[in-house]
Amino acid sequence: MRTLLSLVIGLSVLLGWVGEVAATARARVTRFQALKAICLEGETLRVLVLPERGANLISLFDKRTRREWIWQNPWDRYRKVRYASSFLDADVSGFDDCFPTVGQQAYPAAPWKGVVIPDHGELWSLPWSYQIRGGSVRLWVRGRRLPYRFEKQIRLVDPGRVEISYQVTNLSDHPLEAIWAAHALVAVRPGMDVFLPEEARFQEDLSPWSLDRRFGLGWIRLGGPETKSCKKAFTERLTEGWGGFYDGTTGDFLLYTFPVAKVPYLGLWINQGGLVARGHRHYNVGLEPTNGGEEFQHSRQRGMQHVIPARATETWYLHLTCGKSTRRDLRARVRQAR
């Protein structure tokens, strides 16, 4: 009896401690330039989300290192965007969820055959509803040109992790072909690395970049903006769901983890001053977990097609972990985060 009582007390203490850790994250409504913003703040991280601008995650700030991981456009003022705008006519920054496609394209099958899906998908240019729950926020929106409901919940877990839980529901009686991609543009520096599972292979030629393999990881070294180059590539189907960025000068890393059975590919957008938007050369990199290719035709041609059954709901997640590591120990840090 005394042992049972001790177990109950111990469990109560543990649950209380877990609740206390969760309670350290705070959520509040604030402003980011001219837009409403949801601020999630914990002991180690601060995140800003813009519900009026497609639920764009515009800031992932590590308070321990004073590092902003998300690329913000220094030449543009953030504002609401018109539905179905060209992505290049807006701020071209932050972390958008591209859905139900990435590039502008006509839907390929009945009953919506020929319906044009906007550039960068629908979600980024729509205002989202939201609800703050304790230290987390739930955001949702409905498609305009296709019948679906898209939802995500964002919460902080100390030390140093953002957990994003996704849910999409096909509201129709027909299968829905759809692509999701986490289009997060990261504020990189020359000499940093993208790191990937060692067995990762790309469908396209990466040159002038190369994929080197050391310490149980694949590494892609980034150059500077003076190269004025950019490229988009996709991995073959992965067997492990992770990848990230590493700064060998500071030891800082940003790790993405995701369920590889549901999100089996990574898109890689390297932009070393090659993209010119509204007269300015941008320098950033996007590592994009995705369930498909760039567009419907691209996905079909490469066997990457993803279909949501009629009236079905799908769920998945993306976790972003910030920390420090040596290059040699980074593989172990990946195992810990997963």
CB-neighbour burial class of residue 297 (10 A; exposed 0-12, middle 13-18, buried 19+): middle
Sequential DSSP letters for 127-162: --EEEEETTEEEEEEE-SSS-EEEEEEEEEETTTEE
Q: What is the pLDDT of residues 66-97, one digit of tens each?
A: 999 999 999 999 999 999 999 999 999 999 99
**Cβ contact 162:255 at 8 Å:** no
Q: 306-328: string of b/e by CB count within 10 Å (b at 16+)?
A: bebeeeeebebbbbbbbbbbebe
Question: E strand or H helix at 272, and its extent?
Answer: strand 265-277
Name residue, tokens 């800082």. Answer: 252
Report the DSSP pairing between strands 193-197 and 307-308. unpaired
pLDDT at 122 over 50: yes
What does pTM read for this prediction?
0.92
Closest CA to 107 of 146, 69, 143: 146
Name residue, tokens 């515009």. Answer: 58
Architecture category of domain 2-337 in CATH = Distorted Sandwich (2.70)
pLDDT at 7 over 50: no
Decide: helix, strand or coil at residue 92.
Answer: coil
Q: What is the pLDDT of residues 221-277, one digit of tens each?
A: 999 999 999 999 999 999 999 999 999 999 999 999 999 999 999 999 999 999 999
**Average pLDDT across the chain, whole number:** 93
Q: What is the pLDDT of residues 198-213, one digit of tens each?
A: 999 999 999 999 999 9
If you average pLDDT over residues 318-325, what whole number do you get? Answer: 98
Instruction: Return the C-alpha torsion angle 65, 92, 176, 167, nearest 10.
Output: 30
Q: What distance in Å separates the CA atoms of residue 148 and residue 156, rounded to the nearest whole number?
A: 27
